[in-house]
Amino acid sequence: MTRAADQTKHNALIARARRVLALVKKEVRQMVRDPSSIAMGIVLPVILILLFGYGLSLDVKNVKVAVVLENPSPDLTDLACGFQLSPYFDAQLLTSMPQAQQLMLNREVDGIILLQSDAARNLKMGDAQVQVVVNGTDANHARIVQGYAQGAIGQWTARRAAEGRSVNVGPVTVQDRLWFNEANDSHYFLVPGLIVLVMTLIGAFLTAMVMAREWERGTLEALFVTPVRVDEILLGKIIPYFAQGMVGLVLCLLAAKFLFHVPIRGSVWLLAGTSMLYLLVALSIGLVISSLTKSQFVASQITLLATFLPAMMLSGFLFDIRSMPTAVRLLTYAMPARYYVALLQTLFLAGDVWGVVLPNAAVLAGMAMALLLLARLVTQKKLA
């Protein structure tokens, strides 16, 4: 009796597996026939990888500045030379401030280092002023330029001090060390961020579009009259796009390692495991959105707004979450990308820090389960 029950159960299971397999096969065929979804899964990630790797950088080099010496003296010319030799600056020497201001107005320089006509005399007296004027439009850039200018002036004073001419910038100096990114290369955090964007794009955007198309064209209706169950339909969508996401991940990891030389200090398996969790989350968001909207246009808009842009702006990959106002900070807790960014940055640069990995991975796992359930709930085998 029980054996017979077991047997029917077993048969049912096999039948389910076959149905899912058939759906996956259909999906793969569709993917192959319509190159645009393959393109979205492969071409877009490649474009993003190249853009991020070669295009984006927050490192500041060769800033065009004007060094204004209103009254040149050997000491001050020495300082100006410091700016000209620095790799951070592309300095041109001027002798009048109005000239420099004109350059700044025309955006031909990003900053002015001004040594007024009395600077040489004051320096001998023991108290000189250097004015650093920057274009504040890009505040981040401006702040970095200020920092470098300060550094160049600091080096000059150190040089003078070594020559026995005492000049102090201050008794206390700051020795800074940047852990995990000693060379201060912005690619180290831009490339892990890129992976988040690619996974979001493939996971949420592609799935939402594909599923919404089925709703819009009525092909899902055709599926409803077959014996396939809703969870099987969902599985049939998840499996092929999950595979495509993993292809994207491998592409990104290879590019990170071999093209951009970003170190992977944590374990690759943890990296892959957590990425799978995030991919599941993204896929289920895509499924939920498409089932709720049932239209390609609306689905594409909502996915863009709900997943892609937050992944870029609210995930902490570019902008520091701690500095956001409380309401926005609370909102970031609802963004899966936030946890994935923390995981990737740590696994890439710091290593297997369990104190960071475990809580973040746990949240992603919880979100994946909740969202998959939600996707199952909102996808009903009936017409709206």
**Cα-flanking dihedrals φ and ψ of residue 112, to 5°?**
-130, 135
Residue 223 CB, nearest distance to another protein (Å)? 19
Which CB atom, from 194 or from 279, has the smaller least distance to another protein? 194
Of 70-99, binders to another protein (CB under 8 A) are none
Q: Which amino acid is at 154?
A: G
Of 338-367, binders to another protein (CB under 8 A) are 342, 345-346, 349-350, 353, 355-356
Q: Please, are residues 43 and 69 in contact by the beta-carbon 8 Å criterion?
A: no
Burial of 377 (0-12, 13-18, 19+ CB in 10 A): exposed
Give the residue, chosen from 13, 51, 250, 370, that forms a contact with another protein under the rule CB under 8 A. Answer: 51
Q: Please, are residues 114 and 133 in contact by the beta-carbon 8 Å criterion?
A: yes
Give the residue, chosen from 81, 157, 231, 273, that forms a contact with another protein under the rule CB under 8 A. Answer: 157
Total site size for another protein, rule CB under 8 A: 113
Burial of 109 (0-12, 13-18, 19+ CB in 10 A): buried
Query: Is 178 among the residues that bind another protein (CB under 8 A)?
Result: yes
Sequence-distant (≥ 6) Cβ neighbours of residue 128 within 8 angstroms: 115, 119, 122
- Which region among 21-29, 47-55, 245-253, 373-381 touches another protein (by CB under 8 A)? 47-55
Query: Is 180 among the residues that bind another protein (CB under 8 A)?
Result: yes
- Which region among 60-68, 219-227, 282-290, 362-370 touches another protein (by CB under 8 A)? 60-68
Q: Please, are residues 347 and 271 in contact by the beta-carbon 8 Å criterion?
A: yes
Per the document, the length of the chain is 384
Residue 1 CB, nearest distance to another protein (Å)? 52
**Cα-flanking dihedrals φ and ψ of residue 181, to 5°?**
-150, 70
Paired tokens of 256:
């990170």
Q: Please, are residues 303 and 205 in contact by the beta-carbon 8 Å criterion?
A: yes
Give the residue, chosen from 6, 54, 219, 263, that forms a contact with another protein under the rule CB under 8 A. Answer: 54
Which CB atom, from 288 or from 372, has the smaller least distance to another protein? 288
The DSSP annotation for 251-285 comes to HHHHIIIIIS-----S-HHHHHHHHHHHHHHHHHH
Which CB atom, from 37 or from 284, has the smaller least distance to another protein? 37
Residue 347 CB, nearest distance to another protein (Å)? 10
- Which region among 41-49, 224-232, 270-278, 282-290 touches another protein (by CB under 8 A)? 41-49
Query: Is 8 among the residues that bind another protein (CB under 8 A)?
Result: no
Query: Is 149 among the residues that bind another protein (CB under 8 A)?
Result: yes
Of 198-237, binders to another protein (CB under 8 A) are 201, 205, 209-210, 213
Query: Is 117 among the residues that bind another protein (CB under 8 A)?
Result: no
Query: Is 384 among the residues that bind another protein (CB under 8 A)?
Result: no
Give the Å distances, CA to CA, from 116 to 43, 112, 205, 232, 329.
55, 12, 57, 77, 45
Query: Is 328 among the residues that bind another protein (CB under 8 A)?
Result: yes
Residue 14 CB, nearest distance to another protein (Å)? 34
- Which region among 19-27, 117-125, 224-232, 237-245 touches another protein (by CB under 8 A)? 117-125
Residue 319 CB, nearest distance to another protein (Å)? 6
Query: Is 42 among the residues that bind another protein (CB under 8 A)?
Result: no
The DSSP annotation for 15-68 comes to HHHHHHHHHHHHHHHHHHHSHHHHHHHHHHHHHHHHIIIII------SEEEEEE
Q: Which amino acid is at 188?
A: Y
Of 238-297, binders to another protein (CB under 8 A) are 293, 295-297
Which CB atom, from 134 or from 249, has the smaller least distance to another protein? 134
Query: Is 56 among the residues that bind another protein (CB under 8 A)?
Result: yes
Which CB atom, from 59 or from 118, has the smaller least distance to another protein? 59
CA pair distance 83, 77, nearest whole angstrom: 10
